[in-house]
Amino acid sequence: MARFVLLLVMVSVATFLLLELIPGDPVDGLLPEGATEEMRQQLIQLYGFDQSLVTRYVSWLGDLLHGDLGTSWQTRIPVATTIAERAPVSLELAVLAMALALAVAIPVGIYSAYRPGGIVDRIATFIASATLATPAFVLAIVLVWVFGVQLGWLPIVGWVPFSEDPFQHLRAVILPVISLAGGECVLFIRLLKGDMMATLQQDHVLSARARGLPTWRILVRHALRQSSFSLVTVSGVVIGRLIGGAVIVEMIFSIPGLGSLVVIAINNRDFITVQAIVLLSALIYLVLNSLVDLAYPLLDPRVRRATT
């Protein structure tokens, strides 16, 4: 717990200092063309740039603890309000992409480990070699060209909320989700296959085989749980990256998520919004990694005994 709090403090300090590392004076981006020196001084006092760094950090941290992430320099709308509108979109894409990647990776990884060199393993290896070298945005462009332009099966851009039209909403998320899930699915398969192959050679698994237990039970109950450490660890990092880092995919499909928001904010020099998104992404990583640590004892009782 103490380490978690220390990390939170370090993240808050690093995020706050982002504004100080921006080249030039942030006030210059707020002033209209032809602004006078008097207007400049008013803005400096309004945003507290005339105060010391420590004073501004303490004030910013106090506002943060009360849920105030600041007000956008461009839209004059509270940043928390804008993030609350866009975060569910990015969260939905991330969760669906993760679910799709795991739904494909777990059975394929298990079977590839059980039958190495088989047809499933060879196909998975071939696809992995091709997909790992393909960035998500390239896969997105290919999917758009094939399923959107050539076949016309799915919409190319746009976002339809689920509350407005569930069917159109489902059609709108298919291509972005597949684009995000492709690379992660290949990564999960390779991790799980490697760990499963090592686990299947351990004594307790060989003993279960000798006792005549069904193959599915050996694979799922005896081998999968112990082989899931790397998968769980990487999943915590991946879900955080998908939530806050699907920038290019969201821009390609014109999805109103956090990724597109941060691009718009950077282009508009709206650094308060950028600062808030960076902080949120860092907090998500911290929370998810803490949950991953808590999940280890559930996967392997030996870890639980070692920590008691």
Does the residue 214 lie in any domain? yes
Domains in the chain: how many in total? 2
* Token pair recorded at residue 85: 């509108």
Single residue among 65, 94, 113 that ends a domain in this structure: 65
**What is the rounded distance in angstroms from the CA atom of residue 80 to the CA atom of residue 258?**
12
Do residues 86 and 55 both lie within one domain?
no
Do residues 195 and 108 both lie within one domain?
yes
Do residues 54 and 95 both lie within one domain?
no
**What is the rounded distance in angstroms from the CA atom of residue 169 to the CA atom of residue 96?**
13
Does the residue 132 lie in any domain? yes
| Residue-range definition of the domain harbouring residue 6 | 2-65
**196: DSSP letter:** H
Do residues 57 and 192 both lie within one domain?
no
| Helix ranges, 74-135 (H) | 79-114, 119-132
Do residues 227 and 275 both lie within one domain?
yes
**What is the rounded distance in angstroms from the CA atom of residue 73 to the CA atom of residue 71?**
6
Using CB atoms within 10 Å of the CB of residue 179, give its burial: 0 to 12 exposed, 13 to 18 middle, 19+ buried: buried
Whether 199 and 115 have beta carbons less than 8 Å apart is answered as no
Do residues 260 and 154 both lie within one domain?
yes
**What is the rounded distance in angstroms from the CA atom of residue 187 to the CA atom of residue 116?**
17
Do residues 86 and 164 both lie within one domain?
yes
Which residue carries 């690379």 as its tokens? 183
pLDDT (tens place) for every residue of the chain, 308 residues total: 677 778 778 888 887 777 667 666 666 666 666 667 777 777 777 777 777 778 888 888 887 888 888 888 778 888 888 888 888 888 888 889 889 988 988 888 888 888 777 787 788 777 777 776 677 778 888 888 888 888 888 888 878 888 888 888 888 888 888 888 887 888 888 888 888 888 777 777 777 777 777 777 777 776 777 777 777 778 877 877 777 667 788 888 888 888 888 888 888 777 788 888 888 888 887 887 777 777 666 655 555 554 45
